Amino acid sequence: MTAFLAALTAFFFGFLVTPMVIFFFKRTNILEAPGGRKIHKGMVPSMGGIAILFAAYIGLAAWLSLDQLAFARYLLIALTLMFTLGLRDDLVELTAVQKLLGQGVAAFLVVGMADIRISSFYGCFGIYELPLLVSYGLSAVTIIVLTNSFNLIDGLDGLAGTISSIILGFLGWWLMDAGLYPYAIIAITMVGAILSFLVYNWHPAKIFMGDTGSLSIGFLIAVLLLLFIDRNGTMLAMQGFKFNAPIATGVALMIIPIYDTARIFVKRIRNGRSPLAPDKSHVHHFLLRMGFDHDKVVFILLAVQLTFISFVFLGRSMNDHVMLPLVVMLAVGLGILLDRYTLKQVIKNHLKKPPILQHRVSNPTYKKTALSSLVDRDKIKVN
């Protein structure tokens, strides 16, 4: 009940505060312009993460006891640090090194101070208990990677908010069932804040969450995911809802950000480009090229997310030796189908609008040459 009331409080304050944030940034002309890899139209305020975090903190302050706040203090301090880092980056862009340093400090707070880390692989890859230093290092790197992976999917109206609501809702439910109430309340409260933001972030968006929101939310998801993997791996079946494949379940929960990041990094490196170079090769860009509108793309990716979660639910009695390869193969298979279908659909859409005058279309030789040229040109664009 406390978690529900905290989420409701966060939703209420988020619903009220977000229009104020929009008004302030429009009044001060702090807006995000379209162009480059930005696919929105017109000048739109960013830094909606201010409203999200403000609303979440109000909900937590109202309903978490002092003991619960003290228990989760290192996570809340680290979350505030990530919020500050994102805000600074939205106002004046930070270098990659500066961002990594800030993320490293935040990761140290939860790994080193709160002891939220991966302590074992539970037999996956034949690995069990990890040496302490390896556990610390691997956990910190995992948090940073997952945080930035989530940040990369924040490129379409409503997408990051929708995906994060599902993930945090799942984690909040499981943490509550496992008796980790402070962390569960934090997750569910954040869902309430994000849902209020989605009212204004749905296409056409009146505001974006910016790095202020995406880095903070991505960090929270990453930390709670590590907590889920570690506690789920060590718990007994009678202690709560146990998944026998905690690592595969964690991958399935973050499948959209993980797959998207891996895919674009491999593609950029293969093409001789920096893996950090921004472009329009993300999964949501591909779906837009297929002719789907913004809302349909969000619902398609939401359906994919729910499919993977359902898959690990159904296979929760299987271990990581079985489930992890299945999750990876399913993701790769769907990705290959997406790439192939997108190529065909883009060519098909262009062929419906040949850039030739109607009276010249009747010339068979001209038509054949024009269409051949168009297909070649489009292949270059897609590849």
Which residues carry a binding-site annotation for Mg(2+)?
Answer: 151, 211
Query: Other C-beta atoms within 10 Å of 280: how many?
Result: 14
Report the distance separating Cα 260 and Cα 334, nearest Å.
Answer: 12
- Contact call for residues 13 and 197 (beta carbons, < 8 A): no
ω into 325 cis (within 30 of 0):
no
Residues 6+ apart with CB under 8 A from 348: none
User: Which residues carry a binding-site annotation?
Assistant: 151, 211
3-state helix, strand, coil in the chain (%, to 5): 75, 0, 25
- b/e for 95-108, b at 16 or more Cβ within 10 A? eeeebeebbeebbb
Report the distance separating Cα 213 and Cα 183, nearest Å.
Answer: 19
Structure tokens at 293: 């509108």
Q: Among all chains, which residue has been given the structure tokens 């305020």?
A: 45
Report the distance separating Cα 150 and Cα 175, nearest Å.
Answer: 21
Report the distance separating Cα 70 and Cα 67, nearest Å.
Answer: 5
